[in-house]
Amino acid sequence: RVAASLSKQHLPSARFSGDRAAPGTPHFDVVVIGGGHAGTEAAAAAARCGSRTLLLTHRVDTIGQMSCNPSFGGIGKGHLMREVDALDGLCARICDQSGVHYKVLNRRKGPAVWGLRAQIDRKLYKQNMQKEILNTPLLAVREGAVEDLLLAKPEPQRPGSFRVRGVVLVDGSTVYAESVVLTTGTFLRGTVVIGLEMHPAGRLGDQPSLGLAQTLEKLGFVVGRLKTGTPPRIAKESINFSILNKQTPDNPSVPFSFINETVWIKPEDQLPCYLTHTDPRVDEIVLENLHLNSHIKETTRGPRYCPSIESKVLRFPNRRHQIWLEPEGLDSDLIYPQGLSMTLPAELQEKVIMCIRGLEKAKVVQPGYGVQYDYLDPRQISPSLETQLVQRLFFAGQINGTTGYEEAAAQGVIAGINASLRVRRKPPFVVSRTEGYIGVLVDDLTTLGTSEPYRMFTSRAEFRLSLRPDNADSRLTLRGYEEAGCVSQQRFERASRMKASLEEGISVLKSIQLSSSKWKNLIPEASISIDKGVPLSALDILKYEEVHMELLAAVAPAPLQKYAECRELAERLKIEATYESALLHQQQEIKEVQRDEALELPEDLDYLRLKDVSLSCEVREKLHLSRPRTIGAASRIPGVTPAAVTNLLRFVKTAQ
Ligand code: FAD
């Protein structure tokens, strides 16, 4: 089957097939390799889009496994989950069935940057995810290790242009596919490290993927090496919680999914987390034993955003570092010490732990470890996540240099949708930076690449005020239904109804004028900065922090009562009112930038000295270093705000 006639430099280790599937060989529209967070979303999305899909993964019982932290969401990550949910993806719904401690982060800031987060029961998450995957129509699941890709023979006139035709398993069997999605996480040439010991593994206890890594490299993909790590797990009963700060969950819990009004567990039945800190003895042990820690000596890039305790000690010496003690599940005897990822030899890990307050008698049940693995430079994929080198081959998740379940899930849903659309010869489904954090993630990866594990933050998004967790359905559900077919009828109708109610509610609020005698009682004296005699619209009054829909409805019950009665609608109207004027301004800026995206920036522009244009020093430096060719490219530089791009655009246009 190998095309022996090809010259050696064109010869990938992938096998070649004819264009038609051999009779009797299994044949699917979409085959997804890997049952992690990217793979489950990709497989379910492709099936929801109507493609006959196969999820091929090492083990069915590890589908949905959370390899590291027992939590989902957070600042930026919660936004991604909401967007995955808006496209009818799985992780948000499964978290609402599996969480043990729900808490919204960043509450003191505006709702645009609230971070929905929950501690998750690992076992329950896996069980619920497996149930979902095994019951998804059009989705088949098979255990097996994929060793190689099957490619269609290149056309004689285009010898280097490949198209994927399927996969070859380790037992030599083949599965044909019209599109293939690779979501192999940390498994490509994965190596697990503890102390000076290193052994091949995708993660502790799992075989690495070697053949597939070789194939991708030989096909010409640019491959890099990254590393990450996980903390030791501690026996719950060996911890002295009584002397630590306790964090209780929110009451009420805020669900991740738009379709849930509540989560499966009452706040009073949820589990607490505890906070402790490292002390100087931890630094001493780490520094004295660097020679026994090969993960730290390695030059490959570790995660900047979930750094190991060793990296923190080296980068920020003599500090007390926070350690959160998080439950692994309702009936689990284990505690996950977040912030204490390490790769010291196992006996030294115990020593480190016993220096920490509350952990003086702690027992390590499983040592922490590091993993080093291949990733593929994501600049080799297009915004649909299809590779540029091999047609109909898609990459999603950690394979693209990201870290985190939510980043993987977000890419998975996009890759699954596009793998299916490609089979149906439909245009790709691309989310832009102005439409979603998914767009920010994909655009950052495909245009800038990454040299360290990439994680989502709200600061990466230029249009934070409009890309909020509360409105992800308005941004994506309707598009997902109409353009991709990945959204159920029921969800589509719900999102359409909500969108219509919001539009109607805003226009009603705008139309109601309240005399000052009515509105003055709603707003505390100190918050009022305008003439107290003027009438105001109900929308203007709702912008005040102290005012909510119930209060307004008490003043004008006839038109407003129905909006106050539905909790979700009332909360969303309040958020819309809060951001209304800032958003109008931002919408104009977005339109202005979109209209002139292709406008070329003069090559000799000296950003550091540019006069008559309002740009912060940070933005000037970023523009100076990146030297973008166009306004669109300038707008995509992380940290270059929309306001800065608009100012730059106006400057260039007047200077022309
Ligand atoms: P995974 O969830 O790893 O799933 C990969 C799947 O592919 C697995 O099911 C595997 O069995 C399957 N597979 C692989 N190769 C093949 C093959 N050839 N054939 C068939 N099936 C195959 N994230 C953080 O945010 N913070 C952290 O601190 C952090 N630390 C981590 C520490 C460790 C040790 C590990 C392993 C991961 C860590 N992560 C961390 C990352 C997080 O687990 C991943 O980002 C996330 O799971 C990636 O999802 P994925 O779907 O891309 O890959």
pLDDT score of 419 more than 80: yes
ipTM of the complex: 0.98
Please give the distance, rounded to the nearest whole angstrom, from the Cα atom of residue 398 to the centre of ligand 1.
7
Cα-trace Rg, the chain: 26
Q: What is the mean pLDDT of the chain?
A: 91
Cβ of 311 less than 6 Å from ligand 1: no
Cβ of 458 less than 6 Å from ligand 1: no
Please give the distance, rounded to the nearest whole angstrom, from the Cα atom of residue 192 to the centre of ligand 1.
13
**Residue located nearest, by CA, to atom 18 of ligand 1:** 146
What's the burial of 20, exposed, middle or buried (CB within 10 Å: 0-12/13-18/19+)? Answer: exposed
Cβ of 398 less than 6 Å from ligand 1: yes
Calpha distance 57→62 (Å, rounded): 9
Which pLDDT score, from 0 to 100, does residue 421 have? Answer: 98
pLDDT score of 552 more than 60: yes
Whether the bond into 154 is cis, omega within 30 of 0: no
Which pLDDT score, from 0 to 100, does residue 531 have? Answer: 66
Calpha distance 82→471 (Å, rounded): 9
pLDDT score of 462 more than 90: no
**Banded model confidence at residue 6, pLDDT cuts 50, 70, 90:** very low
Calpha distance 14→182 (Å, rounded): 14
Calpha distance 371→187 (Å, rounded): 9
pTM: 0.91
Cβ of 429 less than 6 Å from ligand 1: no
Strand partners, 99: 120
Determine the atom of ligand 1 nearest the C-alpha atom of 62: 9
- Best residue for ligand 1 mutational test, from 13, 56, 58 (most atoms within 8 Å of Cβ): 58
pLDDT score of 162 more than 50: yes
Task: Give whole-number Cα distances, 84 to 77, 437, 467, in Å.
Answer: 11, 10, 13
pLDDT score of 528 more than 70: no
What lies within 8 Å, CB to CB, of 415 at 6+ separation is 38, 42, 45, 181, 183, 384, 385, 394, 395, 396
pLDDT score of 4 more than 70: no
Which pLDDT score, from 0 to 100, does residue 635 have? Answer: 85
Determine the atom of ligand 1 nearest the C-alpha atom of 34: 7
* Mean pLDDT calculated for residue range 563-572: 94
Please give the distance, rounded to the nearest whole angstrom, from the Cα atom of residue 67 to the centre of ligand 1.
6
pLDDT score of 265 more than 60: yes
Which pLDDT score, from 0 to 100, does residue 521 have? Answer: 77
- Best residue for ligand 1 mutational test, from 66, 94, 186 (most atoms within 8 Å of Cβ): 186
Please give the distance, rounded to the nearest whole angstrom, from the Cα atom of residue 405 to the centre of ligand 1.
8
Determine the atom of ligand 1 nearest the C-alpha atom of 188: 15
Cβ of 371 less than 6 Å from ligand 1: yes
Kindly report, residue by residue over 26-38, the tens digit of the pLDDT.
999 999 999 999 9
Give the SS3 label for residue 237: helix
Cβ of 336 less than 6 Å from ligand 1: no
* Mean pLDDT calculated for residue range 188-194: 96
H/E stretch holding 165: strand 162-169
H/E stretch holding 625: helix 617-626
Which pLDDT score, from 0 to 100, does residue 15 have? Answer: 76
**Banded model confidence at residue 8, pLDDT cuts 50, 70, 90:** very low
Structural contact between residues 12 and 218, judged by C-beta atoms closer than 8 angstroms: yes
**Residue located nearest, by CA, to atom 46 of ligand 1:** 405
pLDDT score of 130 more than 60: yes
pLDDT score of 601 more than 50: yes
Q: Are strands 162-169 and 390-391 parallel, antiparallel or unpaired?
A: parallel
Calpha distance 559→284 (Å, rounded): 67
**Residue located nearest, by CA, to atom 23 of ligand 1:** 404
Structural contact between residues 576 and 501, judged by C-beta atoms closer than 8 angstroms: no
CB atoms within 10 A of CB 527: 10
pLDDT score of 534 more than 90: no
**Residue located nearest, by CA, to atom 14 of ligand 1:** 184
Q: Are strands 174-182 and 27-33 parallel, antiparallel or unpaired?
A: parallel
pLDDT score of 183 more than 90: yes
Within 28-169, residue ranges assigned H as helices are 37-48, 77-86, 91-96, 122-134
H/E stretch holding 176: strand 174-182
H/E stretch holding 348: helix 346-354
pLDDT score of 500 more than 60: yes
Give the SS3 label for residue 91: helix
**Banded model confidence at residue 174, pLDDT cuts 50, 70, 90:** very high
Please give the distance, rounded to the nearest whole angstrom, from the Cα atom of residue 15 to the centre of ligand 1.
26
Determine the atom of ligand 1 nearest the C-alpha atom of 402: 45
Strand order in the sheet with 223-230: 197-200, 191-194, 369-376, 223-230
* Mean pLDDT calculated for residue range 104-109: 93
E strand residue ranges, 392-499: 393-395
Which pLDDT score, from 0 to 100, does residue 294 have? Answer: 87
Which pLDDT score, from 0 to 100, does residue 94 have? Answer: 98
Calpha distance 392→422 (Å, rounded): 7
Determine the atom of ligand 1 nearest the C-alpha atom of 407: 45
% residues pLDDT > 70 (the chain)? 94
E strand residue ranges, 362-440: 364-366, 369-376, 390-391, 393-395
**Residue located nearest, by CA, to atom 28 of ligand 1:** 306
Length of the chain: 656
* Mean pLDDT calculated for residue range 109-117: 93
Residue 502 in tokens: 């919001």
Which pLDDT score, from 0 to 100, does residue 9 have? Answer: 40
Residue 434 in tokens: 């102005």
Give the SS3 label for residue 588: helix
**Residue located nearest, by CA, to atom 3 of ligand 1:** 185
Cβ of 129 less than 6 Å from ligand 1: no
Cβ of 185 less than 6 Å from ligand 1: yes
Which pLDDT score, from 0 to 100, does residue 298 have? Answer: 61
Which pLDDT score, from 0 to 100, does residue 299 have? Answer: 58
pLDDT score of 511 more than 90: yes
Give the SS3 label for residue 626: helix
* Mean pLDDT calculated for residue range 621-638: 89
Cβ of 51 less than 6 Å from ligand 1: no
Which pLDDT score, from 0 to 100, does residue 11 have? Answer: 44
**Banded model confidence at residue 105, pLDDT cuts 50, 70, 90:** very high
pLDDT score of 238 more than 60: yes
**Banded model confidence at residue 365, pLDDT cuts 50, 70, 90:** very high
Cβ of 38 less than 6 Å from ligand 1: yes
Residue with tokens 């139309």: 511
- Best residue for ligand 1 mutational test, from 183, 216, 342 (most atoms within 8 Å of Cβ): 183
**Banded model confidence at residue 416, pLDDT cuts 50, 70, 90:** very high
- Best residue for ligand 1 mutational test, from 207, 215, 228 (most atoms within 8 Å of Cβ): 228
Within 465-566, residue ranges assigned H as helices are 472-479, 489-511, 516-519, 538-542, 549-555, 557-565
Please give the distance, rounded to the nearest whole angstrom, from the Cα atom of residue 486 to the centre of ligand 1.
24
Angle, vertex CA 303, rays to CA 414 and CA 79, nearest 5: 40
Determine the atom of ligand 1 nearest the C-alpha atom of 203: 36
**Banded model confidence at residue 406, pLDDT cuts 50, 70, 90:** very high
Please give the distance, rounded to the nearest whole angstrom, from the Cα atom of residue 493 to the centre of ligand 1.
35
Cβ of 202 less than 6 Å from ligand 1: yes
Task: Give whole-number Cα distances, 391 to 36, 157, 288, 395, 422, in Å.
Answer: 23, 16, 51, 12, 10
pLDDT score of 473 more than 70: yes
Q: Of 12-21, 203-212, 370-379, 425-434, where does mean pLDDT reach its minimum? A: 12-21
